[in-house]
Structure formats: structure tokens, C-alpha cells
């Protein structure tokens, strides 16, 4: 009987380690380390729409169509508009990070050589956001969305100039 308990305990331990390893492949910290190795820095975006958005007066949230985070802001609005039909999303509890290349004297690269990483609480949450957000559906219409997903992480790229480079860094193995 003790042998069976030991085998079951070892199996449970191996399963737990495997589950933790699988979760780590979608951790922002690992992705951030990959970007930092390539000269990028990560900056957290405090989504004003998630905190202050009034669906009756969207202009009060300061949404500017040309801003870097307009895809994120519009996704937030899509999710708010669809709350009644959502299964996993009950509030806007995701984190948003800007990863931007920075090198002294290259302001243009800082603006165009950047990506946004949205960290959802779970992969199910991310998939539901993709399902209901017209903004995300439009953004990924001509892209292979699986290249921009990694577990519970979603990548959005501001311009196409450096898109391949940023997608490659996003998809690098995490050490």
C-alpha cells in the first residue's frame, strides 16, 4: 500500500512540475527577458478605459484614434459592450505592456519599433476576447493569429516596419 502511495505522490509531483513549466511559457516575465536581450524595454500601460470608461460618453475617456493603445482601448470598449454575453470575462482584469526598442538618438525607432503585450488572466479569457472583440478580429484579419498568441499573452504591433522582428522575439523559447 505504501508503494502505491509513493508512486501516486511521485506522479502528482511530476504532473505539478509539468503544469508549472507549461504555465511559465506564457509568462510575461519570460517574454520581457527575450525583448530586453534584444534592446527593448517594457513599460506598463494603465488602461484608463478599464478604470474610467463611461459607455454613455466615450469621448470622456480621452480615447484618441491615433494613439498607440487605440487597439487596446477599443478592445476594452468591445468587451464592455458585450458583458451580457460573456462567460469568462467579468471585468477588465488584464495587464497591458508596451515593449519598445530604445537606443539613444533614435526617437523614430522607439515609436515604430514597438509592440503591445496584453496579459489576460487565462487563455480562455484571451480566446473569449478574440471571439467578441470586433477590434481584435479586424486587427488579426490578415494575420495568422496563432503567431500573436502565446498562452494567455496576446501581441499587437503598432506598425508593420518591424513586425517580423517583434513577432520572432515574442515567439522565442523562454529560458
pLDDT tens string 73-97: 778 777 777 766 666 565 677 888 9
> Using CA atoms, how far apart are residues 136 and 139, in angstroms rounded to an integer?
5
- The 10s digit of each residue's pLDDT in 13-54 is 444 434 433 443 458 999 999 999 998 988 888 765 554 455
Largest distance between two CA atoms of the chain: 69
Mean pLDDT for the chain overall? 74
Predicted pLDDT of residue 88: 58
Over 80: is that where the pLDDT of 147 sits? yes
> Using CA atoms, how far apart are residues 107 and 110, in angstroms rounded to an integer?
5
The arithmetic mean of pLDDT across residues 129-155, rounded, is 94
Please tell me which residue, 161 or 166, carries the higher pLDDT value.
Answer: 166
Strands (E) located in 56-121 = 95-101, 114-119
Long-range contacts of 51-59 (CB under 8 A, 24+ apart): 53/77, 53/80, 55/80, 55/81
Strands (E) located in 40-113 = 40-45, 95-101
CA distances from 29 to 34, 43, 76 (A): 9, 12, 23
The arithmetic mean of pLDDT across residues 55-69, rounded, is 54
Predicted pLDDT of residue 68: 72
Residue 156 has phi, psi (to 5 degrees) of -125, 135
Q: What percent of the chain has pLDDT over 90?
A: 32
Amino acid at each position: 500500500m505504501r508503494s502505491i502511495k509513493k508512486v501516486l505522490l511521485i506522479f502528482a509531483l511530476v504532473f505539478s512540475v509539468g503544469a508549472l513549466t507549461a504555465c511559465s511559457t506564457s509568462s510575461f516575465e519570460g517574454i520581457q527577458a527575450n525583448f530586453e536581450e534584444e534592446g527593448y524595454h517594457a513599460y506598463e500601460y494603465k488602461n484608463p478605459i478599464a478604470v474610467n470608461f463611461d459607455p454613455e460618453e466615450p469621448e470622456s475617456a480621452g480615447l484618441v484614434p491615433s494613439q498607440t493603445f487605440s487597439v487596446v482601448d477599443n478592445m476594452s470598449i468591445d468587451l464592455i459592450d458585450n458583458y451580457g454575453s460573456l462567460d469568462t470575462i467579468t471585468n477588465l482584469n488584464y495587464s497591458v505592456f508596451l515593449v519598445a526598442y530604445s537606443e539613444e538618438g533614435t526617437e523614430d525607432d522607439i515609436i515604430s519599433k514597438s509592440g503591445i503585450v496584453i496579459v489576460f488572466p487565462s487563455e480562455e479569457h484571451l480566446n473569449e476576447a478574440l471571439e467578441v472583440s470586433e477590434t481584435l478580429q479586424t486587427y488579426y484579419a490578415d494575420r495568422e493569429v496563432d503567431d500573436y498568441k502565446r498562452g494567455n499573452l496576446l501581441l499587437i504591433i503598432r506598425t508593420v516596419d518591424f513586425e517580423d522582428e517583434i513577432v520572432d522575439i515574442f515567439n522565442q523559447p523562454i529560458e
